[in-house]
Copies of this chain bind each other. A is one copy, B any other.
Amino acid sequence: MNTFKILEIKQSVFADNNRQADALRTELKTEKTFLLNLMSSPGSGKTTTLTKTINALKDEMKIGVMEADIDSDVDAHTISKTGVKVIQLHTGGMCHLDADMTKQGLEGLGTKEIDLAILENVGNLVCPAEFDTGASKNAMILSIPEGDDKPLKYPLMFTIVDVLLINKIDVLQYFDFDLEACKERVLKLNPNVKIISISARTGEGINEFADWIRAEEKKWNES
């Protein structure tokens, strides 16, 4: 038995996504819901990172998670074990969510009582970067095995994120990954991004990420 709903997202009819995104942000501000959009390649550790982060935060804020996938509900099952509200969004082949699709998801999730809504976007470094979802903040995970050249190859994604988690730091020694060169490439594209090294597996860095969310959620509700 699923403990979560599955929602088939409809393609948006709005031509002006940026306007929809701004409208959604205004709505979320009124409702005092902080929406975090989490993006990455497939297999970089979004779901494991989320599980650990939710466990660090769930006693102090009401959390709801939207799991966006082309197909399957593997991640929604995993997240639902944390006890927070989860909805699985099926994008029907589309490789991103725009603001209207995110809004459909939020309506399915129900945000009235939610302090922190998290959108786990489709695993992809291209399309999700091109569409403002209306999120309060954008987070991205880059994992060590993917290589330190990713900022060179997917510059837009690294430009639009507010926080970058460099995951699987526990296996750094087994890969040819130059952490300093990678950070330099990212900061050249995006001087204001916060970079946190984490290991979702060992839990390293999760507290620092949880602190970042606490601070940003507070700012969101006060501004």
Chain A positions within 8 Å of B, measured between CB atoms, are 41-44, 69-72, 74-75, 93, 95, 122-127, 130, 143-147, 149-150, 152-156, 168, 171, 174-176, 201
Q: How far is the CA of A95 from the CA of B44 in the complex (A)?
A: 19
Name A43's contact: one of B74, B122, B147, B156 (CB within 8 Å): B147
Q: For the complex formed, measure the closest distance between the CB of A155 and the CB atoms of chain B, giving whole angstroms.
A: 6
Q: How far is the CA of A95 from the CA of B146 in the complex (A)?
A: 18
Let me know if A42 and B125 touch, CB within 8 A: yes
Question: Would you call the interface of chain A mostly helix, strand, loop, or mixed?
Answer: loop
Q: For the complex formed, measure the closest distance between the CB of A218 and the CB atoms of chain B, giving whole angstroms.
A: 33
Copies of this chain, count: 2
Name A149's contact: one of B70, B74, B143, B149 (CB within 8 Å): B74
Q: How far is the CA of A156 from the CA of B71 in the complex (A)?
A: 9
Let me know if A146 and B70 touch, CB within 8 A: no
Q: Lowest 10 A-B CB distances belong to which pairs?
A: A43-B146, A145-B145, A95-B126, A41-B42, A43-B147, A41-B41, A72-B152, A72-B153, A42-B125, A171-B174
Let me know if A150 and B42 touch, CB within 8 A: yes
Residue of B nearest to A177 (CB): B43
The CB with the most chain B CB atoms within 10 A, among A75, A126, A149, is that of A126
Q: How far is the CA of A150 from the CA of B17 in the complex (A)?
A: 30
Let me know if A71 and B155 touch, CB within 8 A: yes
> Given the complex, which residues of B lie within 8 Å of A150, measured CB to CB?
42-43
